Every structure is written in C-alpha cells, then in structure tokens.
Amino acid sequence: MGYAVVAPMHGEAPRVGSAERDVTPPVGAWLAGFDPARASTRVSSPLLVRVLVVLTPTRRFAIVGIDNLGVMREDVDWIKAGLPGFANGDVFVCASHTHAGPDLIGLWGNYMLSSGRDRDYLARVRAATAAAVAEAVARAQPAAFVRGEARLPPSGLVKNANRKDVFDRRLTVLHARAVADGAPLGTLLHLACHPEVMPRRNTATSADFVGVLCDAWRARGHGQAVFANGALGAMISPDVQPRDEQGVQAFGERACALAEAALASAEAIPVDAVEVRRADVYLPMRSFGFRIGRLTTALQRELFDGAARSTVGWLRLGSFEAIAVPGEMEPALAEQVRAEVARPDLVVLGLCDDEVGYLLRAQEAADPEYAYERGMSPCREAGELVRAALTGR
C-alpha cells in the first residue's frame, strides 16, 4: 500500500480517550436510503458523532463513528482536514449506515435523482467531529486494551435476505481501560448489519439500533462506545419484529447483551505499536444509475479518467487488525480477503472513509440474483478491485 505508518510504543501504554457530539438535523431534512422524497417529520432518536482516539508517543490515531447512511471520500477528507495533529490516513471515519439519517450522498432528494445534500449540515458534522476529537484527546489516559468476541444467533437477529445463512456472526468488542484505576476509556463495537429496523416508509430521524446499542453500553457502566459496521452487503438486514421503534429497542438491547458477553470473556491485547497502511483505489463509474446521478448533479463526485477515487486501509493495534472498506462489502468477499491474507479474525470496517455502494465477488456480480446490488455499485468489478487493493493480488 502507498501510505505506511508504524508508531512504536517503546514500552509505554497508549493513551486513549473518547467523546461524542449531537448531529441531529432539523426536522424536514431529506432522509437517505430506501426511496426519495422522505422528509423527516420528527426525531425518534438523536444522531451522534462518536470518537475513539489512540495516542502514541509520535502519532495520533482516531476511529470516528457517524450516524449516517454514508459519507463520500471528498467530504471525509474535508472533515479530516479539520482535525489538528492528525494525519488524514490515521483517521478512520465509519458511517453506521442508518436509513433514517440525512442524505449526505445526494441521491434522496425531493424526487428521483435530485440531491438531498445540505452543505450547512455537512459543515455542522465537520465541526462536531472536530469538537469530539478535541475532547477525546484532552481526556485521554494511559490505557490497556482487551478484545472479546460473541457469536450472533443463526436466526432471530440478523439475516441475509439473498442467501439465508451467509452473514458474519461475529460481534467484536475492543475495549480500553485506564491503567490507573480500570475505568472505561472507550470501546469499539463492531457488528455487520444494515441499521434498518425502522421501516421503509419511516419519516422519523433515527440512529436505529446503533443508538440503543451505544446508549445501553454506557448505561451498563462500560463508558463511551463507537460503532463500526462490517461486511453488511448483499443483503445483511435485521431479523426482528416489529419493524418500528419497539423493534429498534429490542435489537439494540440484545446486541448490547451479546457485547457484554464478549467483554466478559475478553483477553488482553499488548500494544507494541499502532500501524496504518493506506492505498487509493479507482473504481470506474459505469453503472447507469451512478452515471445519471452525476449528469443530473445529484451525485457530486469528481472523476479521474471516468473513475471515482476511493480508499482502502489497514489498521493494526497490537494483535487487533482491521481493514477499512469504502462501501458495503458482501460477506463472502470479506471471507475471501481474510483467507488470502491468512487472518481469520480480521475485522472489516465497512463504509469507512467513503460510500461507493455494494462490493461483490466476481461470481455474485455476474449472478442475476444480485441485479439490485450490481446496479448500486460503480461497476461490476468494484468488489474485486477493492479486494486486490487490500491483498495485493
């Protein structure tokens, strides 16, 4: 990969801090996902920016979780530029993918292929992220990390709408505790599922199950949580009823119980260094919907010889390793990446630093069953291009 940073600890403990800020838009914002022309009519739950920072003797790193469907590369770069002391590549901005948050992509305005983007709202997200990161840095303390994992049930919580049993059953917890007194300093909660318990015709702004999960984590005494989604593509969805606010609460509470089980069996992770690698990946913009979106200016994305520039990444924190994926990776493709790099426990940070749509293996991209996912991707080979950028194969 083109960008490579290793920040050794030299026997010191990393300093960790966390914080959050409210980024709930005003009522009337266009909601992203599902169908266009969904203006919000009320707020079901607030939207937040949640931040976890890891400070080494020489560099600062951050994982940022945003309650939103997705944020494009150019906007992510602008957000990162507002974080003093952090290199662009050392910050991972992960959208939760809630389908009840404002349109930052530009495809869900008042009618088909009209933009729902609000630049003033994007500026507010940028300022809130900077404020949360600054607070997290100010609160950072020497920390010890533990990592735990729980297994999702085979049914009754998450499902694959295309292929029933094909989904990532891992719920991963990366938890930091203060060396001085064991107090919680911050947690990364990782689960692969579309946050769309709220139904298709919903018009309430909502963080969906992510908000309940993070709030319940704090209420149970574990401190600030930052949520990162995973390999949720094609088509990993909630398997709960009812599909309303009651279902949102139930999903979040059950996910929190699983996260607590993971924490109870977590093992210590000595941190010798923090390592980051990055590479740009260029995805040809061939799909009809994406091309029309640009022609109508609803999708405001710069192209390079007809390709969208995106990014992939690799994060190592001691023995904890994660890849940063710029969209919705299909779970079988994620498993292929894990196999090719011989890291079965590799965490996939989905919708990280960009939203390019679905990322499929070659065989799924050619399968008629995946026509919708193929249409919501820049090109048929987008998944394979991302895989190659990550693995070098």
Residue 182 has pLDDT above 70, yes or no: yes
Kindly tell me if the per-residue pLDDT of 289 is higher than 70: yes
Same domain for 294 and 376, yes or no, is yes
The answer to whether residues 261 and 280 belong to one domain is no
Is there a single domain that holds both residue 363 and residue 285? Answer: yes
Task: Report strand pairing: 347-349 vs 320-324.
Answer: parallel
Strands 204-205 and 42-43: parallel
- Whether 154 and 115 map to the same domain: the answer is no
91-95, 103-107, 177-181, 191-195: lowest mean pLDDT where?
103-107
Nearest CA to 239 out of 163, 149, 167, 160 is that of 160
Residue whose entry in the numeric block shows the structure tokens 């994007």? 122
d(CA 255, CA 230): 14
Let me know whether 265 and 277 are in one domain.
Answer: no
296: confidence class by pLDDT, cuts 50, 70, 90 = low
CA 21/CA 31 separation, integer angstroms: 20
> What SS3 class is residue 351?
coil
Q: What is the structure's pLDDT at 122?
A: 96
Long-range contacts of 279-282 (CB under 8 A, 24+ apart): 279/1, 279/2, 279/3, 279/311, 279/312, 279/313, 279/389, 280/2, 280/309, 280/310, 280/311, 281/309, 281/310, 281/311, 281/312, 281/326, 281/385, 281/386, 281/389, 282/307, 282/308, 282/309, 282/310, 282/385
Asked if residue 340 is part of any domain, the answer here is no
Which of 122, 139, 156 delimits the end of a domain? 139
Q: Which pTM was predicted?
A: 0.97
| Confidence bin at 287 (pLDDT 50/70/90) | confident
The type of residue at 383 is G
- Given 104, 139, 174, the domain boundary residue is 139
Residue 254 has pLDDT above 70, yes or no: yes
Q: Residue 7: inside a domain, yes or no?
A: no
In a domain, 310, yes or no: yes
Domain boundary among 88, 117, 139: 139
Task: Round to whole Å and give the CA distance between 9 and 161.
Answer: 44
122: which strand partners?
A: none
Can you tell me the distance from the alpha carbon of 19 to that of 184, in angstroms, rounded to the nearest whole number? 12
Structural domains of the chain, count: 3
In a domain, 6, yes or no: no
Q: How confident is the model at residue 370 (pLDDT cuts 50, 70, 90)?
A: very high
Domain that holds residue 224: 144-269
Q: Which one, of 216, 307, 210, lies nearest residue 260 by Cα?
A: 216
The pLDDT, as a whole number, for residue 115 is: 83
Q: Band the pLDDT of 113: cuts 50, 70, 90.
A: low
**Separate counts of helices (H) and strands (E) for the chain:** 9, 21
pLDDT of residue 1: 67
Q: Say whether both 231 and 181 belong to one domain.
A: yes
